[in-house]
Amino acid sequence: MGLFFLKRFITLLATLIGASIVVFLVLEILPGNAAQILMGPDASPEAVAALASKLGLDQPAGLRYWQWVSGLVVGNMGESYAYSSPVLDLVLERLALTVPLALMAMAITTALALAAGVYAASRHNKIGDVGVMGLAQIGIAIPNFWFAILLILLFSVKLQWFSAGGFPGWTEEAGGGPVEAIKALLLPAIALAVVQAAILARITRSAVLEVLREDFVRTARAKGLSQRAALWGHVLRNAMIPVITVMGLQFANLLAGTIVVENVFYLPGLGRLIFQSISNRDLIVVRNCVMLLAAMVVIVNFVVDILYAVIDPRVKASDI
């Protein structure tokens, strides 16, 4: 297990380094100048040049990359041009909303998908299977931002059960509380989860059907185990490797998908911070936020690889 973990960890580090280089280079070649945007279109070239020098924008790209990466290692993300505050503080403040939103969406996705996938597989080629897969196909075709608007029209405008947007905060001092905060995140989480649940339900159904054809399942049923116990106690666990693979990728997609949904619901999360920073040409915030999302994707995949070895020891043995 130690060698397996070490190899995966080295791959993790190499991927993070490669991602940092790509993120830095892509943002470097974008047109525009942060100093020009901050000073305004009527600013003199001398004033723009002075501000660019103050922000370090006139330094060589290689030096700025090294300063950025070395700062990330010690937790120093620099200072925002537009907000005049440390980027780390901005990111941590917004992650307090984005991460719970993604976790809520992932929980809804997992619950709906596993239940629907196992149900459809247990009724293969029957009405229940056809109906669930038909709904899943519709769910895949629905854009989450469009579904978010429908949720607002139904539950906020017509029924008035939820607010149409905004976030009250997690504490009473901020004007909200845990219950109010969860209620504010429920509709965005459902909007994010509907497409991912439809995809995962189809993957779960296929994986469960494949395991149902195995000999050990017939043996368990022949010994008197009920269909429900066989499905949830034996079949699902053996079908979880492809399911976990998709779940890991989906959680990363949910984090990235918050950029659109947070703007629809006017939530002050990481996605809205990225959107505002792009508008302000605040590249240091954009760079750190994109790198953070990339790191989350890589780390999630690393965790999935470790879970493979926990669920199925044959994966670990074949890798070594």
266 phi/psi in degrees, rounded to 5: 55, 50
Which pLDDT belongs to residue 92? 86
Q: Which pair of structure tokens corresponds to residue 136?
A: 């899943």
142 plus 43 within the same structural domain: no
Query: What's the rounded Cα separation, in Å, for the pair 5 and 287?
Result: 29
- Tell me which residue range forms the domain holding 49: 32-76
DSSP designation for 58: T
H-state helical runs in 123-177: 127-141, 144-151
CA-based nearest residue to 187, from 158, 152, 153? 152
Which pLDDT belongs to residue 29? 67
40 plus 155 within the same structural domain: no
Residue 195: band (very low, low, confident or very high) from pLDDT cuts 50, 70, 90: confident
pTM to 2 decimal places: 0.77
Q: Looking at this protein, which amino acid is placed at residue 174?
A: A
171 plus 72 within the same structural domain: no
Which pLDDT belongs to residue 178? 82
Residue 98: band (very low, low, confident or very high) from pLDDT cuts 50, 70, 90: confident
Which pLDDT belongs to residue 249? 77
Residue 193 has pLDDT above 80, yes or no: yes
Structural domain contains residue 11: no
CA-based nearest residue to 114, from 38, 36, 202? 202
Which pLDDT belongs to residue 177? 77
Please tell me the total number of residues recorded for the chain in this structure: 320
124 plus 155 within the same structural domain: yes
Which pLDDT belongs to residue 117? 86
Which pLDDT belongs to residue 281? 75
127 plus 244 within the same structural domain: yes
Which pLDDT belongs to residue 286? 85
137 plus 38 within the same structural domain: no
CA-based nearest residue to 136, from 121, 117, 122? 117
Residue 319: band (very low, low, confident or very high) from pLDDT cuts 50, 70, 90: low
Q: pLDDT > 70: what percent of the chain?
A: 82
CA-based nearest residue to 296, from 66, 74, 57, 19? 19
Contact 55, 45 (CB under 8 A): no
pLDDT, tens digit (0-9, with 9 covering 90-100), for 293-311 = 888 888 877 887 777 666 6
Lowest mean pLDDT among 34-43, 150-159, 206-215: 34-43
Among candidate residues 6, 41, 76, the one where a domain is terminated: 76
Which pLDDT belongs to residue 75? 81
Lowest mean pLDDT among 2-11, 126-135, 190-199: 2-11
Which pLDDT belongs to residue 108? 92
Structural domain contains residue 292: yes
CB atoms under 10 Å from CB of 14, counted, come to: 11
257 plus 157 within the same structural domain: yes
CA-based nearest residue to 281, from 71, 83, 56? 83
Average pLDDT for 101-129: 86
CATH for 192 = 1.10.3720.10
Whole-number average pLDDT of the chain:
79
112 phi/psi in degrees, rounded to 5: -65, -45
Structural domain contains residue 241: yes
Structural domain contains residue 306: yes
CB atoms under 10 Å from CB of 236, counted, come to: 19
In the chain, % helix, strand, coil (3-state, to 5) comes to 80, 0, 20
More confident residue, 233 or 291: 291
Contact 186, 261 (CB under 8 A): no
Structural domain contains residue 228: yes
Residue 226 has pLDDT above 70, yes or no: no
Query: What's the rounded Cα separation, in Å, for the pair 316 and 320?
Result: 6
37 plus 60 within the same structural domain: yes
Average pLDDT for 173-186: 79
Structural domain contains residue 191: yes
Structural domain contains residue 10: no
68 plus 131 within the same structural domain: no
120 plus 49 within the same structural domain: no
Structural domain contains residue 4: no
95 plus 226 within the same structural domain: yes
Q: How many structural domains comprise the chain?
A: 2
CA-based nearest residue to 260, from 143, 94, 157? 143
Return the bridge partners of 79, or none. Answer: 86
Query: What's the rounded Cα separation, in Å, for the pair 34 and 288?
Result: 16
Residue 259: band (very low, low, confident or very high) from pLDDT cuts 50, 70, 90: confident
pLDDT, tens digit (0-9, with 9 covering 90-100), for 50-90 = 777 766 666 777 788 888 888 888 888 888 877 778 888 88
CA distances (Å), origin 81, targets 1, 38, 277? 46, 8, 9
146 plus 271 within the same structural domain: yes
